Every structure is written in C-alpha cells, then in structure tokens.
Structure 1
Amino acid sequence: MEILTVDFFQRALAGGLLIGITAPLIGIFLVLRRLSMIGDTLAHVTIAGVALGFLINVYPIAVGLVFAIVASFAIEKLRKAYRGYAELSIAIIMSGGVALASLFFTLGMGYNTDVVSYLFGSIYTLDTTDLYVVGAVTVIVVIGISVFFKEFFLLTFEEDAAAVSGLPVKWLNLLITVMTALVISTAIKIVGALLVSALITIPAACSLFIARSFKSSVIFSVVIAEIAVVVGLMVAGIWNLAPGATIVLLLIAMLILTLLAKRGFTA
C-alpha cells in the first residue's frame, strides 16, 4: 500500500472522492428526468473549451467550465423552444460542441496530446488548483441540492404540478443544468469526457434497483460511486491501468452484479 503515501495518488484520490459525491447527486435527477445524454453533450462542449484554453494559454478547465455553463443555458432555451422534443436540444448542442472541438484541434495541432488526456482522463495529473476547483464545485452542488431537494424532487417527478404549485420551474431547471455543467467540466480531467457520463448515470442505475425510496436511492448512488472510485484507483495504481477506464468498468461490473442479484431475489 505504498502508493497511498505518494502525493500524486493522494491528490487523485481526493479529487475522485469529491467527484464521487457530485456526479451521482446530479445523476439521479438526470436519469429520472430522462436527460442522461446531457452528460455526453456538456462533456463534448467542455472539451471544446479545454482545447481553446490550451490554444490561448488560459487555464483549460476554467475555459471548459465557461463553455459548459453557456451550453447549459442554451440547452434550457432550446428545451423551451422545442417543448415536445426536449432531446433535440441535447443533439443540437452536442453537434456544436463536437464541431468547435474539431476546429480548435485543427488550429492547435501542438496541443492535441494535452487535450486528448482530457478525453480519457488524467486523474494522476491533478494539481492543487484542480482540487480547489473540484472542491468548490462540490460545495456548490451539495448546498444547492440540500437547499432545493424537495423542489428538485417535485420537478423530477411532476414538472407540471411544480409549476402549478408556484415553484420557479424555469430557474430550478436552469440551476440543475448549470450544476450539471459544473460537475462535468471538473470531472473530465478525472475520468475523461468519453467516460464522464458513466459516473453520472451508472451509480444512479444501480441505486434505482436496490433503493426503496428516492432519498435512499440518492444515498446509495453516492456510496456506489465512492466505492468504484476508491477500488478503481487502487486497482489502477497497483496494476498500472488507466484509472478512468478502470473506475467505469468497475461501475459496469457493479451494475451487472446488481441486476443478477435483483433477478435472483425475484426469481
């Protein structure tokens, strides 16, 4: 267990544990609202921001975060414009994100190696600034969900009833979308843009099979994510594997075991 004493691994573990809180907290609401693909969409937009950050020599995660927040506003605007086709807004923004990322890749050929690390994750390269950013986002998300938990609950299961009851549905939708953007923009350096949606959706998918209430499903999703992060990092560190991929594959294995156990109990 010597790896636990190494600075870069301690930073990786700290960053992973923080994302292990925020990603499933947001994920449970997105999954139940059938907005799972928003993770991939904002991840692609964030990569475009990261590529621009390298191109103009500005802190990449900060630029990616700005891109993700702007994209979250655009998604909400398009969701209202295409009320009957909400998923269309996700497809439009994803297309724009991929196009911008491709353009910035072409303009900054010398930075492509650095940007690619954000596609697959580079948790071992987290520095103190990264941890401060991830920590700040964690505080924002935890406080936001704690304060508006009942409102988000009603919004998730009955948006029309929430509007009739006088809740500011527009602002609540925007708040949860912006928090999603914050989580994804900080998570891509940990698990990578191509894998970040797995950390958002799979813990939620597991918890929904075993939880008996909404509140317990939120708790279970966080616990499952944290187990996957800790065990995944340990396995990846000991066996010299890709940490992001190891965490995601472990989550998939946990989902399969959950499904098999559920089938066994109901058989």
Structure 2
Amino acid sequence: AIILEYLRMIYSTYSEISIAILMSGGLALALVLMNLTGGNSAASIQSYLFGSIVTITWDQVVMLAILFVVLVLLFMLFKRPMYVLTFDEDTAHVDGLPIHWMSMLFNVITGVAIAVMIPIAGALLISAIMVLPAAIGMRIGKGFNTVIIISVFMGLIGMLTGLTSSYYLETPPSASITLIFIGLFLLVNIYRRVVV
C-alpha cells in the first residue's frame, strides 16, 4: 500500500500505471516466494490465484468481522474528508486536508482488505469482487450515501447468488460470483440505456 502511494505520486498523471506495476510485481513475487518455500504445488498456486471461499476457517471469519467493524468506524469518522479526497483531490488540498496521509490510510486499509480476502476470493478475482458492486451502485445511485447502500446490497446479492449457483452447478465460487456481478452490471447498463 505504501509503495502504491509512492508510485501514484511519481506517476500522478497516469495513476493506473502504478496499479499495473504493483499488481504484476506483487503476483510475480508471491509466486517466486511460494516456489522458494516449497509451496509450489499446483493446488497451492491455484488456491492463491483463485481462492476457496467455501473452505474458509473461523479465524478468517473473525478477521473479516474485525475488518468490517474497523471499516465502518473509519467510514463514520472520515466520511466527508474521504469523499472529497476520492472525487476531487484539488478541492481536498484547498480544504487543507492531509492528502498524502489520507491517501496512505486509504491504501493501507485497501491493502489489508485485499490481504484478508485473497485466501477466500483469490488474487485474480479479488479486484472484480471489490470493484463491481461499487460500479453497479454508481450506475444506479444519485448521491454518495445511496451509492454506498446500493453497493453493499448488490455485493450481498452477488455473493449469495454466486455461492448458490456455484454449489448447484459445481463451478468455482469466485468465478461464479464475478460472473454474477458482471451480469448485474450489464443488466443495470442495459436498463439505463433503454429506460433512462
């Protein structure tokens, strides 16, 4: 997360470059470290890349619950500053907000969320599971609070529908959840084009 913020400052105009560099570098480093530590079996690599949401332990459930509580508390404390920072960094700077510290906090929280979710969702599909509910919420909702509520609701629908379909169709859970999210996203976009 700290490296991402540093790269984002270097490539301020092309911030997506920093994400691509960090993602590919992190994935490559993880696979090399797995190989060096003897955990290079096909099963462990597949588990790292695609996760196994149906085999989560109680420790992982507790970690997710703690992460959820921390995120809700941070959201309640820093809602307006994070809103301003996320959508308009120049305005946040003019308002006197500590942009670099807030960006660092935002990236660290995101990094912790990803680290906790990788064993469950897998490294390749975690971005879809994190981004698609928000993208759906942004297509439907008008205000910031509405977008968040819709995103959480769509996240629950996508996860439950994906897990149910995965169980009955005997497909990988993470892939099924991702496809459900993509299907919901396409339906929302088609609805907006036809109706709105």
Supply the distance in 2 between the matched residues of 1:110 and 1:159 (Cα, whole angstroms).
Answer: 42
Deviations, residues 115-135 of structure 1 (Å, cap 9, x unaligned): 321211211211111111111
Deviations, residues 84-108 of structure 1 (Å, cap 9, x unaligned): 3333322332342133123224324
Which residue does 2:29 correspond to in 1? Answer: 100
Supply the distance in 2 between the matched residues of 1:200 and 1:97 (Cα, whole angstroms).
Answer: 18
Alpha-carbon shift at residue 248 of structure 1 (Å): 0.7
Mind listing any 5+ residue stretches in structure 2 that lack a counterpart?
Answer: none
Alpha-carbon shift at residue 224 of structure 1 (Å): 0.3
Check the 8 A contact 2:31/2:45 in 1, yes or no: no
Are 2:44 and 1:87 aligned?
no
Are 2:148 and 1:218 aligned?
yes
Amino acid at match of 1:117: S
Cα distance 1:226–1:102, how it changes in 2: closer, same or farther (>3 A)? Answer: same
Alpha-carbon shift at residue 178 of structure 1 (Å): 0.8
Q: State the structure with bigger RCO (CA 8 A, min sep 6), 1 or 2.
A: 1
1:147-186 to 2 correspondences below 5 Å: 147-186=77-116
Which residue does 1:34 correspond to in 2? Answer: none
Cα distance 1:110–1:118, how it changes in 2: closer, same or farther (>3 A)? Answer: closer
2:54 corresponds to which of 124, 141, 144:
124
Alpha-carbon shift at residue 82 of structure 1 (Å): 3.2
For residue 124 of structure 2, give the secondary structure of its aligned residue in structure 1. Answer: coil
Are 2:193 and 1:244 aligned?
no
Query: Which has the higher mean CA deviation after the structures are superposed, 241-250 or 184-193?
Result: 184-193
1:1-267 to 2 correspondences below 5 Å: 72-112=1-41, 113-266=43-196
Mind listing any 5+ residue stretches in structure 1 that lack a counterpart?
Answer: 1-71
Supply the distance in 2 between the matched residues of 1:231 and 1:92 (Cα, whole angstroms).
Answer: 33
Deviations, residues 207-238 of structure 1 (Å, cap 9, x unaligned): 11111112101111110010011111122123
Cα distance 1:169–1:234, how it changes in 2: closer, same or farther (>3 A)? Answer: same
Aligned length: 195
Supply the distance in 1 between the matched residues of 2:166 and 2:4 (Cα, whole angstroms).
Answer: 36
Amino acid at match of 1:146: M
TM-score of the superposed pair, with normalisation by structure 1:
0.68
Amino acid at match of 1:213: G
Alpha-carbon shift at residue 188 of structure 1 (Å): 1.6
Identity rate, percent = 36
Cα distance 1:82–1:209, how it changes in 2: closer, same or farther (>3 A)? Answer: closer
Supply the distance in 2 between the matched residues of 1:97 and 1:205 (Cα, whole angstroms).
Answer: 25
Amino acid at match of 1:135: A
Supply the distance in 1 between the matched residues of 2:39 and 2:107 (Cα, whole angstroms).
Answer: 33
Alpha-carbon shift at residue 109 of structure 1 (Å): 4.4
